[in-house]
Structure 1
Amino acid sequence: MADKVIVFGATGTIGKFLIASLIQNSKSFERLAIFARSSTIDSKPEYVQFLKDSGVEIITGDVRNEADVLKAYEGFNIVVSAVGRNVILDQIDLIRLAEKTPNIKRFFPSEFGTDIEFGPKSPNEKPHQLKLKVRGYIKNEVKRLEHTYLVTGPYAEFYIGKGFGDQKAGGFDVQAKKAVLCGTGDDKVALMTMPDVGDALVSAILHPEASKNRALIVNSFTTTPHEILAEYEKQTGSKWDVSYTLLDELVHLEEQAWNAEEPRATGFTLRRVWTEGGTLYDRPRDNEAIGFTTPDSLADAVATAIKVQS
C-alpha cells in the first residue's frame, strides 16, 4: 500500500520544496497533507489554493495542541517535519504523540542542514543544541516509531548567494561582481540545492529499508569557493573583485556576535563549521542507496542564483 504523508512546516523556506517534490511524485503516495495554523493558511491564499489544486489536503490546528495533532495523525503513516529553528523542540511532543499512534510508522525530524553529530566538536556547537535534544529524545524514549535524519549540509542557495547581510561572512554579489570567500578559497564544502532536498526526501521515503533509523548523508555536489567563483565568472562573462575572510577572522567575528547576542551569530558559526570541513565525510554519501542519482550541479545552482539576483 502506498504511503500517506503529512508535512509540518510545509509553508516555510524548505517546507515548500519538500511539498513540491512530494506533489511531483504524488502518484507514489496515497495521501498528501500539510498541517498548519489557520492564521498561516489565511495569510497565504494563493499558495494554499495551489496545494489544494495539486491534491494536497489542508489540515489546520495548533502544533502545541495534543488533540489537534492526534486528529491530524489519523489516516497517515509518515510524518515529515520541516519546522523552523524557533519551534524545533516542539518536535519532541510531535514524536511522543507519533510513538503512541499505531498507524504512524516513521518520523522525519527537521534536520535538512549541517550534520549535528559530525565529530567531537559538534555537541558544543550552539546552533546544534535543540536538534541534538530531539535526537536524544528519539534515542532514549522512542521504542516503536522509525525515524530518518535527512542530513543535507548547507543549502547551495544560501552558501553561493549574496549572503545574510554581513559581507565578512561570505557571499557572491552578481550585480556588483564581488565575492567574499571564506577560508583560503580552496576549502571543500558539500552543498545541496533546496529542490534536491525535496527530491532526496521522496527518495528516502520510497526506499524505507535503506533509510530506516539512521542519518542519511546526501548532497548535490562538492566544491570550493574558488570553483564557485570561476563558475560565476564563466556564466556572467566577466572577472569579479575578490576578498577573503580567513578562518581566524571568521572565528573572531563569530565570538563577537555571540557575545553581543546578535542574530547573525548562528550564521557565523555555520560558516566557520563549513570552512573547517564540517560537511565532508570519510564514508560515501547515501545518494545511491536511496536512488537519488540525478542531483543538481554547481552550474545549475549558479545559474539559479544569477537569475534570483538579476
Structure 2
Amino acid sequence: MGKSKILVVGGTGYIGRRIVKASLAAGHETYVLQRPELGLDVDKLQMLLSFKKQGARLVEGSFNDQQSLVDAVKKVDVVICTMSGVHFRSHNLLLQLKLVDAIKEAGNVKRFLPSEFGMDPSRMGNALEPGRVTFDEKVVVRKAIEAANIPFTYLVANCFAGYFVGNLSQLERLTPPKDKVFVYGDGNVKVVYNDEDDIARYTIKAVDDPRTLNKTIYVRPEDNILTQNQLIQKWEKISGKKLEKISISEQDFLASMKGLDFAGQVGVGHFYHIFYEGCLTNFQVGEEIEASKLYPEVEYTRMDNYLKIYV
C-alpha cells in the first residue's frame, strides 16, 4: 500500500505547522487547507507559501462554505485537524463539527485525527469550570465522529515542552525563572512532557497504522514522565544555578483563580488537574497504545536535552 494523502487543517498553527513538516518529511502527499479568512495575516500566508515551496499542496476551503470543505476532503485519504483549543490564542474546537459533516458527505476518508493533542478529554469528566469547556467540546466532536462512523485516531500528547518545560511549568512566562520557582504542592506529581516535533512525528506514524485505527494513542515515553521537582533539578544541573523553591498549596493555587480573566481561569484549572491531581499519569497505558512503544524507531527528545536551548 502507498502512503496516504494527508490534509492538514490548521496547518499554520503551533502544532499544525510541525505536522505539515513531519508529513512532508515522511513522504506523504500533503495538502494544507488555505482559508480565505486569512485576510491580511501576512505571516500565515508566508508560512503557507513556504509549505508550497517544500512540496505541499494548498487547497482553498472555508468553514463558511461547506461545499469547499467537502471538495478539499475528497482529495485525500486522511484528515488531521490542529485547530487551537487554547483560550489565550483562539478557541475553535466546535468548528470541527462542520469538518465531520464534510468528511461524512465526502465518504472517502480512511482516517480522521481531530484536534486533541492535550489531555484525554474522556478522563476529564470532573474538570473544573470554566476550563472544562475544552474537554467537553472535544468530547462533543468525538461523539459526532463516532456517530458518523468515521474511522479515527485520537492522539493524547500531554504537555507541550514549549509551554511547560522551558518555564519550569510556571504560569505567565515561557522562559526559565532567574531566582525563584513556584512549586505546585510538594512538586512530586508525575507529569508527561513532550517535544512538539516528536508529537508531530508520532502523529504521522499513526495515520497509516492499522494498530491505531479507532484507538486513543498516548504520547507518554518513559523518560519524559517527570515530576516538577525533577524538571527543576535538570535545569539547575544544566544552568549551574540553584533556585529558591516556593511551594503553593492546593487551596492557595485554586484561590488565585479569582479575579483572572476567562483565559487565565482556564489555564489555572488545567494546571491544577495536571500538577495537583496528576491527571496525565494517574492511569495505566498499555504498550499497544503508547506511541514510543509503538514506534521505538523515533528518537524522542529527553527534557534535559530540550532545556539546553535555554542556557
Q: Work out whether residues 189 and 224 of structure 1, in 8 Å CA contact, stay in contact via their aligned partners in 2.
A: yes
Match of 2:94 in 1: 89
Match of 2:204 in 1: 202
Runs of 4+ aligned residues of structure 1 deviating over 6 Å after TM superposition are: none
The Cα shift of 1:38 comes to: 3.3
Supply the AA of the counterpart residue of 1:128.
F
The worse-fitting range, judged by mean Cα deviation, of 172-181 and 196-205 is 172-181
| C-alpha distance in structure 2 between counterparts of 1:288 and 1:187, whole Å | 21
| C-alpha distance in structure 2 between counterparts of 1:228 and 1:118, whole Å | 25
| C-alpha distance in structure 1 between counterparts of 2:175 and 2:245, whole Å | 10
Q: Work out whether residues 3 and 208 of structure 2, in 8 Å CA contact, stay in contact via their aligned partners in 1.
A: no
The Cα shift of 1:72 comes to: 0.9
Match of 2:185 in 1: 183
1:300 maps onto 2:305 in alignment: yes
| C-alpha distance in structure 2 between counterparts of 1:189 and 1:277, whole Å | 7
Match of 1:132 in 2: 139
1:101-250 correspondence runs (5 A): 101-118=106-123, 121-122=126-127, 125-139=132-146, 141-143=147-149, 145-162=150-167, 169=171, 173-174=175-176, 176-207=178-209, 209-220=210-221, 221-250=224-253
| C-alpha distance in structure 2 between counterparts of 1:126 and 1:83, whole Å | 15
The Cα shift of 1:35 comes to: 0.3
| C-alpha distance in structure 2 between counterparts of 1:172 and 1:225, whole Å | 15
The Cα shift of 1:298 comes to: 1.5
Match of 1:68 in 2: 68
Q: Work out whether residues 9 and 83 of structure 2, in 8 Å CA contact, stay in contact via their aligned partners in 1.
A: yes
The Cα shift of 1:223 comes to: 0.3
| C-alpha distance in structure 2 between counterparts of 1:173 and 1:20, whole Å | 25
The Cα shift of 1:247 comes to: 2.0
Classify the secondary structure of the residue corresponding to 2:186: coil
Q: Work out whether residues 185 and 249 of structure 2, in 8 Å CA contact, stay in contact via their aligned partners in 1.
A: yes
| C-alpha distance in structure 2 between counterparts of 1:128 and 1:242, whole Å | 32
CA offsets 1:149-186 (integer angstroms, 9 cap, x no match): 1001121221123389xx6x486753624322222111
| C-alpha distance in structure 2 between counterparts of 1:298 and 1:72, whole Å | 38
Match of 2:88 in 1: none
User: How much is the aligned-residue C-alpha RMSD, in angstroms?
Assistant: 2.4
The Cα shift of 1:113 comes to: 0.4
Supply the AA of the counterpart residue of 2:195.
T
Q: Work out whether residues 128 and 269 of structure 2, in 8 Å CA contact, stay in contact via their aligned partners in 1.
A: no
Unmatched tracts of structure 2, length 5 or more: 86-90
| C-alpha distance in structure 2 between counterparts of 1:61 and 1:73, whole Å | 9
Supply the AA of the counterpart residue of 1:21.
A
Residue 115 to residue 123, structure 1, CA distance change in 2 (3 Å): farther
| C-alpha distance in structure 2 between counterparts of 1:122 and 1:262, whole Å | 15
- Alignment: residue pair count: 294
Q: Work out whether residues 78 and 110 of structure 2, in 8 Å CA contact, stay in contact via their aligned partners in 1.
A: yes
1:25 maps onto 2:26 in alignment: yes
Q: Work out whether residues 117 and 123 of structure 1, in 8 Å CA contact, stay in contact via their aligned partners in 2.
A: no
Q: Work out whether residues 168 and 228 of structure 2, in 8 Å CA contact, stay in contact via their aligned partners in 1.
A: no
CA offsets 1:263-300 (integer angstroms, 9 cap, x no match): 21111011001011100122335124531542211112
Classify the secondary structure of the residue corresponding to 2:123: coil
| C-alpha distance in structure 1 between counterparts of 2:57 and 2:284, whole Å | 41
Percent of residue pairs bearing the same amino acid type: 19
| TM-score, normalised with respect to structure 2 | 0.86
Supply the AA of the counterpart residue of 1:129.
D
Match of 1:273 in 2: 273
The Cα shift of 1:120 comes to: 5.1
| C-alpha distance in structure 2 between counterparts of 1:175 and 1:267, whole Å | 19
| C-alpha distance in structure 2 between counterparts of 1:160 and 1:230, whole Å | 12
| C-alpha distance in structure 2 between counterparts of 1:63 and 1:218, whole Å | 30
